[in-house]
Amino acid sequence: MSVRAMRVWLATVLAACTMAASTPAQADKVGDLCEVVGVRDNQLIGYGVVTGLNGTGDDISAPFATQSLLAIMRRLGVQIDSSQFRLKNVAAVMVTATIPPFARTGSRIDITISSIGNARSLQGGVLLQTPLYGADMHVYAVGQGALLLGGYDAKGQAASVRTNVTTTARSPGAALIEREIPTRYVKEGVVTLSLRQPDFTTAQRIATAIEAELGKSSAVAADPGAVKVTIPAAQAARPVDVLARIQAIDVSPSSPARVIINERTGTIVASGDVRLSPIAIAQGGITIVITETAKVSQPNALAGGTTAVVPQTDINPIEQGSQPSMTYLDGASSLADVAHALSTLGVTPRELASVLQAMRSAGALRAEVIVQ
């Protein structure tokens, strides 16, 4: 390699190292760490009727469908006596939906339909026009359309088969938004960012990064779960542009040192800031084997008494080793080192959960242990 080529190669390596050093480790976008207060979903609920079922709807013991169908027919100008009804093809249902923020009139949203009577299946059904109400009891959307099930139900004279739940269905894009929900996220020129995982260090880092982008005193960490951002006066009429810039900022979040133990499933999850001090561990135990044997007590032919079953129990304790073996673990400053050190113990996940709790009590494991 010539001297010129060597210089070019060295300059390229130095530039790459400089870029790697300037990029924050494990950086996340502010938009992934925070939510804008005031920008939220809203839940809707309604009561409706599903028709077109193949004999799998509500029967006469469920009055919901009968009353609802009578009201619908009368509203359409058809007078029918309730004694003339033969349901089975109709089911009373509850309809739920979630309306996203900034949804405009005429937009479509998905709905979920669930039976409230004794219908066996909603397969092949069609939801009739159903108003969907918000918490203030105003109609915000209207749903209607065919249902989409994630299972099926088939029944014969001597056998039946069912896959998944057939009394709950979805209808994608079946609801039309009729009323817009006003969304106000800028209050007196201030936007509040809510951290998905409150943390003092992360909140302060986000505020510092926003100040570097918008200017000094433009952001302040009000508490571990909120950062208040002041929109610059020159851009007060364009808050969307300011929030777009804020959400694209890279921030390295603080990761709390935690070990999550689920004793029911034997799952152990550790975060990246777990540290381990040098410690010696003796892991041993006693296995007790209990054997139950039933014996029959038979009296002599000339003696009195009756035949009886006499249980016999044999208990055999088996100690694992005459002396428990002592294992020494070096200190570990990274999660990879901690995982490697714990793997040398050669214990099961359930035994490791007990070891981790004992290490935490001894002060060798610098992390919060949460048992679920």
List pLDDT tens digits, range 324-369: 556 666 666 666 666 777 676 667 777 777 777 887 887 778 888 8
Exposed (0-12), middle (13-18) or buried (19+): which is 3, by Cβ within 10 Å? exposed
Dihedral sign, Cα of residue 74, residue 76, residue 80, residue 86: negative
Q: What's the rounded Cα separation, in Å, for the pair 259 and 17?
A: 34
128 closest CA partner among 140, 143, 112: 143
Residue 316: its pLDDT value, please?
61
Residue 59: its pLDDT value, please?
82
Residue 326: its pLDDT value, please?
60
Residue 141: its pLDDT value, please?
97
Query: In this structure, what token pair is assigned to residue 162?
Result: 């069912």
Q: How many CA atoms lie within 13 A of 133 on its CB side?
A: 8
Determine contact, residues 151/168, Cβ cutoff 8 Å: no
Phi then psi for residue 182, to 5 deg, are -65, 135
Residue 261: its pLDDT value, please?
82
Residue 286: its pLDDT value, please?
47
User: Longest C-alpha distance within the chain, in Å?
Assistant: 116
Exposed (0-12), middle (13-18) or buried (19+): which is 151, by Cβ within 10 Å? middle
Query: In this structure, what token pair is assigned to residue 81?
Result: 């006596």
Of how many residues is the chain composed?
A: 372
Q: How many CA atoms lie within 13 A of 210 on its CB side?
A: 29
Determine contact, residues 221/206, Cβ cutoff 8 Å: yes
Residue 354: its pLDDT value, please?
78
Q: Which residues contact 191 (CB under 8 A, 6 or more apart)?
A: 36, 37, 185, 228, 229, 231, 239, 242, 243
Phi then psi for residue 34, to 5 deg, are -130, 160
In 338-366, which positions are buried (b, 16+ CB within 10 angstroms) versus exposed (e)?
A: beebbeeeebeeeebbebbeebeeeebbe
Q: What's the rounded Cα separation, in Å, for the pair 134 and 10?
A: 64
Residues 267, 269, 271: CA angle, nearest 5 degrees: 175
Residues of the chain falling short of pLDDT 70: 1-26, 82-86, 151-162, 272, 282-294, 296-305, 309, 312-338, 342, 344-346
Determine contact, residues 33/250, Cβ cutoff 8 Å: no
CA 309 to chain centre: 54
Q: What's the rounded Cα separation, in Å, for the pair 125 and 86?
A: 17
261 closest CA partner among 252, 253, 251, 271: 271
Query: In this structure, what token pair is assigned to residue 351?
Result: 């035994």
Q: Where are the alpha helices (DSSP H) in the chain?
A: 3-22, 30-33, 63-75, 200-214, 239-247, 335-343, 349-362
> Which DSSP string do the residues of 288-311 spell out, in sequence order?
EEEEEEEEEE---SSS----EEEE
Instruction: Provide the residue ranges of all domains of the chain, joining segments of one domain with +.
Output: 42-177, 186-251, 259-371
The fold of 186-251 is Alpha-Beta Plaits (3.30.70)
Determine contact, residues 65/92, Cβ cutoff 8 Å: yes
Residue the block writes with tokens 């009729």? 178
Q: Tell me the average pLDDT of the chain.
A: 79
